[in-house]
Structure 1
C-alpha cells in the first residue's frame, strides 16, 4: 500500500466517506492541495494509532470550534465524530467546554453546527427544590400521558436519554435521585422512604396528580416503596432489573466505596452492568457509566447502598390497583430472570417480559428493546 492508498484508506476510516467524494471539490480546485492532504496528512499523522480515531475527531472538533470561521469543516468533522461513535451529548459538552477557553460566540456557533448535524432536540431542563436538597429534572415531549423515569444507583438521569427519545406521544420526565448528578452531596444518611418522598415531590413540582412510573434497579426499588405508600399517585408501574427485597451484598458495596474509593467500584460495577461485547466496544453507554461512577463520592455511594438495603416491599403490592410491568434482561447477572419472575409472582396481575440479550443496564445497552417494551405497555397520545 503506497502513501496515496494509505491516505485514502485512513480518510475513509476517519471521516466515514470515500476521499473521492469528500475531497472532490478540493481536487477540482487544487489537485496539489488534494494530494498533499492525502499523502502528507491522512497517510501521515492521521494514520498513527497512538491517538484513537474518535479522540482525533474530538480534538479536531474542539480546535475548529475554537478557531471559529470554519463551520463547513466543523460540520464535516462533527459527522466524522458521530461515525466514530462519539455521542451527540459529548459533542455538546465539548462546545460548552470551548466556551470557557475560546469564548461564548465561538461556542454558540459550534453548538449551532452540532445541532444542525445531529438533529438534536435538547430536553427541557429545570431545577426542583425538594424537602432537603435540590435536584435536576428534564422533560422530552409536551403532550400525552406523563411518564417518570428513575435511574440506577451510581448514574443519573442521562441513563434514560437513549430511551426517552423513543417514546413519542408522551411527556417523559427523568430526574437525578438524591446523591446523584445535580443532587450529589444531598444529606446522608437517608432511607428509601426519603427517596420515595422525593418522587412524590417531583410529581408535585410538575403538577402531576398521577404518572406512569418506570424504575430500573435502585430506581425500581424507590418506585416500589413509593407505590406501596401512595398507590393513588400511580397510573402504572414498570419495574426493570430490580428487586423487592435487599441483598446481603448491598452493605459490602457501601463499605467498599468508603474503604477503597470510587475508582475501585468501576470494574465490579461495569462488569455486572454490561455484556463483555459492550465493554469491548466501549461506546458511549459504557464511557458514560464509567465516568459517572468515577465522579461519584464515597459518601453518596455508601448512602445510596445503605438506603437500598432498607428496601423490603415483598407482598406490599399484592393489591396494587394499577397495571404493572416486570421487565427482565436475559443476561442480567445482578437481578436475574429468576429473581424477576419471583417479583412478578408477588404482584398478582403483573405482566412479565424478558428481553433477549439484555444485561442489567438494559436501558443503556439495549435502549430500543426497552423502549419497545415500554411503548407497548404505556398509553400514548396520537402522534402526527
Structure 2
C-alpha cells in the first residue's frame, strides 16, 4: 500500500502507472480514494492516480489546521513524488476546491480541470449553518444514524452505496472530521481569481444532486475563462463518479480527447 511523505503528512495514494496523461482524482469531504474505484477503468488510456486528502481515508495527517491551498500543495507534492511533470485534475466538491487552487499555484503543470459538484465561491449562509451543525454534532455525538442518513441522502442517494459508506463512516474516529470541516467552512473565496486559470476545464453536475444544480454549474463554467462547457450527468448524485461512473467516465474521456 503506497504512501508518500509530503508536507509533513503521510499521504496514501494509488497509481496505475503507464505512459498516458496523468489523471489525478481528488475526493469530496468524508469520502476517500474508494469513491473512484470505477474510474480505474480509465487506466488503459490514462495514468490514473487517486489519493486521500488530509483527514480522510488512509492518509496520516499531523492533525493541524489546513486549507485547500495546503491540500493543493499536497497534490502537487504527490506529482513531484511520482515524477509527473504535467497532469489533468478531476475534483469532486472539496476535491474541486483543491484542484482549482493547484491550477492557480502551478499553471504550467496542470493541463486540464474536470470539476464535479464544485461551487464557485463560498457556501450560502444557510448552508454554512447547516453544515456547521451537522459536522459539530458528528464530532460530538459520533456518526449516529440521524447524521449519516442525512449526509448519505444528500451526497450519494443510492441505497447500496449509501449503506457501504455509512458503514465506513461508523468505523472512523469522529474527531477526524474536525479539521476537514473547518477547512470546508472557513475556506477563502477564490471566485475572483478563477479567470486566471489558463487550462481547459469542464464542469459536471448530477441532475439529481440536491446540493449543486444546473445554475451552479453554469456559474462556475462562466467564471472559468477556458471552460468548454457543462455536462449534466442524468440521475447523478453529488458523488456522481461513484453512483453514475459510466456517464462520468465517458464525459471525461470525451473532454480529454477534445483538448
CA distance in 2, matches of 1:330, 1:167: 27
Which residue does 2:250 correspond to in 1?
372
CA distance in 2, matches of 1:241, 1:357: 13
- Greater strand content: 2
Matched, 1:331 2:205: no
Q: CA deviation at 1:299?
A: 2.5
The change in CA–CA distance for 1:269 and 1:223 in structure 2 (over 3 A counts) is same
Give the TM-score of the pair, scaled to structure 2.
0.90
Matched, 1:145 2:21: yes
Task: Encode CA deviations 1:39-82: one digit per residue, 9 max, x unaligned.
Answer: xxxxxxxxxxxxxxxxxxxxxxxxxxxxxxxxxxxxxxxxxxxx
Matches within 5 A, 1:240-251: 240-247=116-123, 248=128, 249-251=130-132
| 8 A Cα contact 1:129 1:135, kept in partner | yes
Task: Encode CA deviations 1:139-189: one digit per residue, 9 max, x unaligned.
Answer: 225121111000111111111011221453110000111111111554232
Which residue does 2:155 correspond to in 1?
273
In the alignment, structure 2 segments of 5+ residues that lack a partner are: none
In the alignment, structure 1 segments of 5+ residues that lack a partner are: 1-124
Secondary structure of the structure 2 residue equivalent to 1:353: strand
| 8 A Cα contact 1:132 1:187, kept in partner | no
Q: CA deviation at 1:194?
A: 1.3
Secondary structure of the structure 1 residue equivalent to 2:108: helix
- Greater helix content: 1
Consecutive aligned runs of 4 or more in structure 1 exceeding 4 Å deviation: none
In angstroms, what is the RMSD of aligned CA positions? 1.8
Matched, 1:214 2:90: yes
| 8 A Cα contact 1:326 1:344, kept in partner | yes
Q: Higher Cα Rg: structure 1 or 2?
A: 1
The change in CA–CA distance for 1:134 and 1:184 in structure 2 (over 3 A counts) is closer
Which residue does 1:192 correspond to in 2?
68
CA distance in 2, matches of 1:332, 1:311: 24
Q: Which moved more, 1:330-339 or 1:186-195?
A: 186-195
CA distance in 2, matches of 1:295, 1:245: 32
CA distance in 2, matches of 1:329, 1:346: 19
CA distance in 2, matches of 1:200, 1:377: 22
